[in-house]
Amino acid sequence: LDLSNCSLHSLPAGLAEAATARVLDLTENPLTTLPDGSFVGFIYLQNLTVPLTLECPGGSGAWQDVTVDRSSRLCQVQRNLCNSSVELVWPCPENSVCAPDGPGLTQCLCDNPFHGYKCLRE
């Protein structure tokens, strides 16, 4: 998805509809911030290019490779925080498993046949 040089001062309202995007280019836009939650659900995103003034969503630890050039920052290959040695801030409850939910984000999904609040219903 090429949104470069679109004079964006903020992310488009419908960006969440592009959650299956693998490549996203936001360079050459006067963006000053990427609000928290902007990339919730973007689990397939593998290459994100942002203006140099912005950090990679989730921080550099959420990506395997961060490359900086004169005008942009390339964030490549999301790390799966569920498979890392870093302890999760919010551990998943019993009867659930950790799953990626976008750059630097995780979610807890109930194991089958469990569901509901804290995966307590069977």
Residue 88 has pLDDT above 70, yes or no: no
Q: With the C-alpha atoms ordered 55, 21, 71, 64, is the resulting torsion angle positive or negative? A: positive
Residue 89 has pLDDT above 70, yes or no: no
Span 70-80, average pLDDT: 95
C-beta separation of 31 from 49 below 8 A = no
| Domain boundaries defined on the chain | 15-78, 81-119
- pTM over cut 0.75: yes
Q: With the C-alpha atoms ordered 8, 10, 11, 14, is the resulting torsion angle positive or negative? A: negative
Q: What is the pLDDT of residue 83?
A: 81
For the stretch 59-68, contacts whose Cβ atoms lie closer than 8 Å and that sit 24 or more positions apart, written own/partner, are: 59/104, 61/86, 61/104, 62/103, 62/104, 63/103
Q: Which residue has the higher pLDDT, 26 or 60?
A: 26
Residue 86 has pLDDT above 70, yes or no: no
Say which range, 20-29, 54-63, 65-74, 84-93, has the weakest mean pLDDT.
Answer: 84-93
